[in-house]
Structure 1
Amino acid sequence: MREVIMGYQGEMSLKGLNRNQFESTMMKILRYRLKTVGRFRVYCTQSTFYMEPEEEDIDMDLAFERVSKVFGLAALSRAVVCEKDFDTICQTAEDYLGDSLHGIKTFKVEARRSDKTFPMTSPELMRELGAYLLGRHNYLRVDVKNPQFKVIVEIRDYGAYIHGPKIQGEGGLPVGTSGRALNMLSGGIDSPVAAYRMAKRGLGLDHIHFASPPYTSERAKLKVKALAQLITPYTGSTNLFVVPYTKPQEYIRDNAPDVLFTVLMRRSMMRIANIIARKQGCEALVTGESLAQVASQTVKALQCTDAAQDLPILRPLIGMDKTEIVETARHINTFETSILPYEDCCTIFTPPHPKIRPELSEILEAEAGMPGLAELEAEAAEATERIRLRITDDVEFEG
């Protein structure tokens, strides 16, 4: 039997005249994700991406796992392809899916006929194939509303494709089709989720992290690297920029009003991120901020933060509550790493009672009293370490 992977378009199919560009990007991504598994022929027709192995003994379980995390696919299935002949379809369905019909009580057959030259209509094919399978598995009964298993036959241009229920994909758009941005990766729960959500909208991402040794440890840096690595199956290969932020942070601590420290620090980080982003050709910054979650995430505080630099700041979590964010973190396998108790640059020197409604005028006045900050920020940006991260499904980090 010739097994293939089929990936079904979702939102991409609505892109009109630009659709070819999205499909071309998707095929490049799929080929890249599969190249370490084996040689595959990847092509697109009828709003479906086909991934056909060109070698024997390819691990199709691994291949399916690799492409299941690719944004842009609304659903996927593993299928076998056979001749568009009814007797062949029946035998192939039994050979490929017969074992799946053991141990269940109900099933149904679904058929889709995009090739209208096939002599049987979809209802006829469903009825006759269902009768054939019932003859082989007489303990079954048909349940068209709530079956335990579906046998699906798609009559397409190049053959009959037979598979079980489709697996839900990640949806969204192929990474890279919406530009590129720099994600502020703190090491907490929120920022990896923010990266996931923006990558889902087709945004290519690099990450930036601020480290303040000796206040933050090498283990904290390794934790952030592990988080960036964990989401590469979704975001693709990426760069992690680690900024040595100790001197700017100490300078703000020693020269600014205590109640304004957090917002002043966030503005400083944004200015440094702007420098790195422009060098990388990024068009926006991404943060994991959620409205009113902490003092620096009130409307007034965000207004002050935004005014520090001129790139768009994308906040995909702004309207989400913590339970929704945690649910997504568990889905992308970052939660357990995020909650490891290592120091976060954003939490050191935090005042006990930060101002939750700062005015931009008082922020600018405070910055005017720190003439040495700009030079320290430039030095930190210049000394930033770049770490290249490739796509992998295997990440180990012991807390």
Structure 2
Amino acid sequence: MKTNQILVRYGELSTKGKNRSSFIGRLRDNIRQMFADLENIRVKAERDRMFIFTDSEEDMQQILERLPKVFGIQSFSPVTETALTMEAMQEAAIAVIDKLDLEGKTFKVNVNRANKDFPHEKLEIMQAIGSNVLRNFPELTVQMKKPDIELKVDIRENGAFLMAEVIQGAGGLPVGAGGKALLMLSGGIDSPVAGYHMLKRGVRLELIHFFSPPFTNDRAKEKVFDLAEKLSHFGSSVNLHVIPFTELQQEVHKQVPDNITMTSTRRMMMKIADLVLAETKSQAIITGESLGQVASQTLESLNAINAVTNSPVLRPLIAADKLEIIETAQKIGTYDISIRPFEDCCTIFTPANPKTKPKLEKVEYYENFVSFDELIQEAVQNREVIKFPRKKENKFEDLL
């Protein structure tokens, strides 16, 4: 008896038609990438389900811990393999059920007798396994329609396979199935959550961050690195483009009235993002803006910011309130990173009384006093690009 495979159930993929195979292939590749560091696993994709195989207990534990983060999966179940005897199946059923929370629960046994040469009929198998489970777990009661626990027994030629635990997956679509977009990652609470929502819709991410030393320090930069690392754990690697923004930001503050510097700064960011988008062959820009949350996120401000780009700008949090965003950030593990007290360039340069309804023609008027194009090109050319997840350092590498 051994738990050596996992049955993966598709979610939204099941609604796809002729292109279903491409979605399934993308999910299979994402799973392989997620577990690239595990040598003893094998992934087998079928039209209606997928199997992950391993004979290593340590690898199985790693799979169970990481798989809930892979988008495109509705649910999955560990599968226990045992010998084709009634006694072996009864013993395996006890082991499978014993891992579950049973208090006040109902259950039933469901048998698929695919191996017609097995000497016992389906009803006989159900009764033998079910009665043995009840003897060992008297807190359970039998319920044939919609039970809390369904013990599935699949009898094949090469053995019997049992499962009962159903673990919820992340849902959504496989990352990469929805194209690629550039996420403006600030280091705050909102932008990583925006990235998470787009990952769930199958969008592969490139990340861009604006860094203004010495006004922002290396700890602020490391905070963004940690957020990028988190976002790379949902089934796909990401590249982070770190833009040197100090000179450009200082020039904005020289040329533009203080109360519209926030709007103008974000317009410069958007222009830079447009160039990086083209170089990375991304198809849209993603921001973490939520309508009305701050001065730069009013409809008037968003209109002025959008005016510098023809690229689609996706704002998955536009109608979310802050408490909803915080709840999601806590769920995905980015909240504690985002609230570290190291400010980004937008926070440090926030004016005392920013315009909430900036007029586009006035913003453009003040920006026309100087050409920002050369500074924008330099910022793009001098950017640093880091790939995540980062490889873990081997402490003993020098000794090998």
Same fold (TM over 0.5): yes
Deviations 1:114-140 (A, max 9, x none): 95979866x886555322211344x33
Equivalent in the alignment of 2:20: 19
1:187 is aligned to 2:162 = no
Amino acid at match of 2:209: H
Equivalent in the alignment of 2:299: 299
Query: What is the alpha-carbon distance in structure 2 between the residues aligned to residue 188 and residue 326 of structure 1?
Result: 11
Amino acid at match of 2:167: I
Q: Give the 5 Å matches for 1:1-399.
A: 1-2=1-2, 3-45=4-46, 47-53=48-54, 55-82=55-82, 88-94=88-94, 96-97=95-96, 99-100=98-99, 104=103, 106-111=105-110, 113=112, 129-137=129-137, 139-142=138-141, 144=143, 150-153=149-152, 155=154, 160-234=160-234, 236-369=236-369, 371-390=370-389
Q: Is the 8 A contact 1:182 1:273 kept in 2?
A: yes
Deviations 1:139-159 (A, max 9, x none): 333064999972520538786
Equivalent in the alignment of 2:396: none
Bigger drift between 316-325 and 153-162 goes to 153-162
Query: What is the alpha-carbon distance in structure 2 between the residues aligned to residue 45 and residue 156 of structure 1?
Result: 19
Cα shift at 1:181: 0.9
Query: What is the alpha-carbon distance in structure 1 between the residues aligned to residue 110 and residue 318 of structure 2?
Result: 43
Aligned in 2, Cα 1:126/1:57: closer, same or farther, shift over 3 Å?
closer
Q: Is the 8 A contact 2:9 2:49 kept in 1?
A: yes
Cα shift at 1:35: 2.8
Cα shift at 1:65: 1.5
Query: What is the alpha-carbon distance in structure 2 between the residues aligned to residue 393 and residue 320 of structure 1?
Result: 36
Aligned in 2, Cα 1:155/1:103: closer, same or farther, shift over 3 Å?
closer
Deviations 1:166-187 (A, max 9, x none): 1111001111111111110100
Cα shift at 1:214: 1.1
Cα shift at 1:368: 1.5
Cα shift at 1:163: 2.1
Q: What is the TM-score when the length of structure 1 is the normalising length?
A: 0.88
Bigger drift between 124-133 and 177-186 goes to 124-133
Deviations 1:46-75 (A, max 9, x none): 52110011x445431112212221100011
Cα shift at 1:40: 1.6
Aligned in 2, Cα 1:143/1:290: closer, same or farther, shift over 3 Å?
farther
Query: What is the alpha-carbon distance in structure 2 between the residues aligned to residue 260 and residue 157 of structure 1?
Result: 70
Query: What is the alpha-carbon distance in structure 2 between the residues aligned to residue 292 and residue 72 of structure 1?
Result: 32
Amino acid at match of 1:22: F
SS of equivalent to 1:7: strand
Aligned in 2, Cα 1:148/1:100: closer, same or farther, shift over 3 Å?
farther
Deviations 1:14-42 (A, max 9, x none): 11100000111111111222231232221
SS of equivalent to 2:99: helix
Cα shift at 1:99: 3.4
SS of equivalent to 2:26: helix
Amino acid at match of 1:348: I
Deviations 1:243-286 (A, max 9, x none): 11011111111111222111111110011011112111111111
Equivalent in the alignment of 1:397: none
Query: What is the alpha-carbon distance in structure 2 between the residues aligned to residue 57 and residue 75 of structure 1?
Result: 21
Q: Is the 8 A contact 1:71 1:173 kept in 2?
A: yes
Unaligned regions of 5+ residues in structure 1, if any?
Answer: 395-399
Query: What is the alpha-carbon distance in structure 1 between the residues aligned to residue 392 and residue 299 of structure 2?
Result: 38
Query: What is the alpha-carbon distance in structure 2 between the residues aligned to residue 265 and residue 44 of structure 1?
Result: 48
Sequence identity (%): 37
